Amino acid sequence: MRVLITGATGFVGGHLSEYLCANHPEVEQVGVRRWRAESAGAASLPAGVRVLEANLLDAPSLLRALQASRPDVVFHLAASSSVASSWDTPSEMLQVNALGTLHLLEAARQLDLDAPVVLACSAEAYGLVREEELPIREEQPFRPVSPYAVSKATVDLLGFQYFQAFRLRTLRLRFFNHCGPRQSHRFVISSLARQIAEIEAGLRPPRIQTGDLEIRRDFVDVRDAVRAYWLAATRGEPGRAYNVAGGRSRSIREILDRLLALSDAVVEVVFDPTRRRPADIPVLAGDASRFHAATGWQPEIPFERTLVDTLEYWRHAVGR
């Protein structure tokens, strides 16, 4: 079996490649990265992974990558992934995520590719959800409130449309918040862990800057997430959408308290108004029972281990 991973040098792509090497060494991997991408994850790709260069906004380059690899499975992970930065660059967010996905699906259609195409969609697309609608099921309508969420809703709808119109074997994974070691500090758990590591190392004052501590999110460790991608490709039903959730929502305040309990640092917590978004979602909590029934997937990594591993990653990174 040959798999193609777009965004192979990114946070999730690197973990997926490592998972396949460790658990499915018979799989031939082809990683697609953006032309001249300077990514820390590029060096972490396992030996033997064939790397092709392309750009989501250059449709012919994606067509060439699919022609050269002729994959049996496509994992489409390349994206602009920060909700916060989407408010500053909404045009770029929509182009990369929506138009880039369209280019990939069109290339697969033109080549008559008979392969599952697993799309990294997002629970952010659900947007505003009333308390009585929790936990969120796949039937929940989309009410996106950020440019990122709009772009991911478009990815989701494109996947459905290409399955209905062209019988392209798309699967839409609506992930709740990813987290884990090697994640960018633009994301909340990684941001808090990095600040703690820098305080411990004496590189910043003993002060942690935060956004709204009361919002609640449902977190999935990236190492559980990459198992979900593989199970979706091998056991999922093409055309379906699946929630992938940890099964519990946690406040950012709870997460900060648990990270601080792992450190001897004494810190002051300061609200940073620049981290407030024009619109936000108070609570995201998912029901992943459909995905569990189809694939048997469930989270295996305890949340405490996720926090410990993320903090240790930043301690090493700061030390370097």
pLDDT (0 to 100) of residue 44: 66
pLDDT tens for 204-213 read 999 999 999 9
Q: Are 103 and 175 contained in the same domain?
A: yes
CATH number of the domain residue 262 falls in: 3.90.25.10
Q: Are 61 and 78 contained in the same domain?
A: yes
Is beta strand 170-175 parallel, antiparallel or unpaired with respect to 117-122? parallel
pLDDT (0 to 100) of residue 36: 58
Q: Are 92 and 151 contained in the same domain?
A: yes
pLDDT (0 to 100) of residue 274: 80
Q: Are 93 and 52 contained in the same domain?
A: yes
Q: Are 230 and 255 contained in the same domain?
A: no
Please state the domain count of the chain: 2
pLDDT (0 to 100) of residue 41: 41
Q: Are 36 and 71 contained in the same domain?
A: yes
The answer, as to whether pTM is greater than 0.85, is yes
Q: Are 30 and 47 contained in the same domain?
A: yes
Q: Chain-centre distance of CA 56, in angstroms?
A: 17
CATH number of the domain residue 71 falls in: 3.40.50.720
Q: Are 227 and 117 contained in the same domain?
A: yes
Q: Are 113 and 228 contained in the same domain?
A: yes
Mark the ranges of the chain whose per-residue pLDDT is less than 70. Answer: 36-44
Q: Are 61 and 194 contained in the same domain?
A: no
Q: Are 107 and 197 contained in the same domain?
A: no
pLDDT tens for 164-200 read 999 999 999 999 999 999 999 999 999 999 999 999 9
Structural domain including 192 reads 188-215+249-282+302-319
Q: Are 15 and 97 contained in the same domain?
A: yes
pLDDT tens for 97-120 read 999 999 999 999 999 999 999 999
